[in-house]
Amino acid sequence: MSAASISELSTISSCLEDGSIKAEHISTGDQLADILTKALDKTKFEELRGRIGLEAISAKGNKTKGEN
């Protein structure tokens, strides 16, 4: 572990101890970062997309690069 990593962990530990930050358990089903880090089925993708405030954009009528 690098000196910088040790310093960061020390800072986080101090903040947890003094109450300036709070750590909470997040269950596997509630991990919003999964939308950015995992291959998800359509249902889970759409659920997480909505929970982080994104909306679907329709590509109907839009031409992609290289189309005539």
In a domain? residue 39: yes
In a domain? residue 65: no
Structure confidence at residue 66 (pLDDT): 57
In a domain? residue 46: yes
In a domain? residue 18: yes
Which domain does 47 fall in, by range? 3-51
Structure confidence at residue 17 (pLDDT): 94
In a domain? residue 57: no
Q: Is the pLDDT of residue 65 over 80?
A: no
CA-to-CA dists, residue 28 to 2, 32, 33, 55, 64, angstroms: 29, 9, 10, 23, 36
Structure confidence at residue 44 (pLDDT): 93
In a domain? residue 22: yes
48 CB-near residues (< 8 Å, 6+ apart) = 32, 34, 35, 40
What distance in Å separates the CA atoms of residue 52 and residue 45, rounded to the nearest whole number?
Answer: 11
In a domain? residue 38: yes
Give mean pLDDT, residues 43-49. Answer: 93
Q: Is the pLDDT of residue 40 over 90?
A: yes
In a domain? residue 10: yes
Q: Which residue has the higher pLDDT, 37 or 6?
A: 37
pLDDT tens for 8-26 read 889 999 999 999 999 999 9
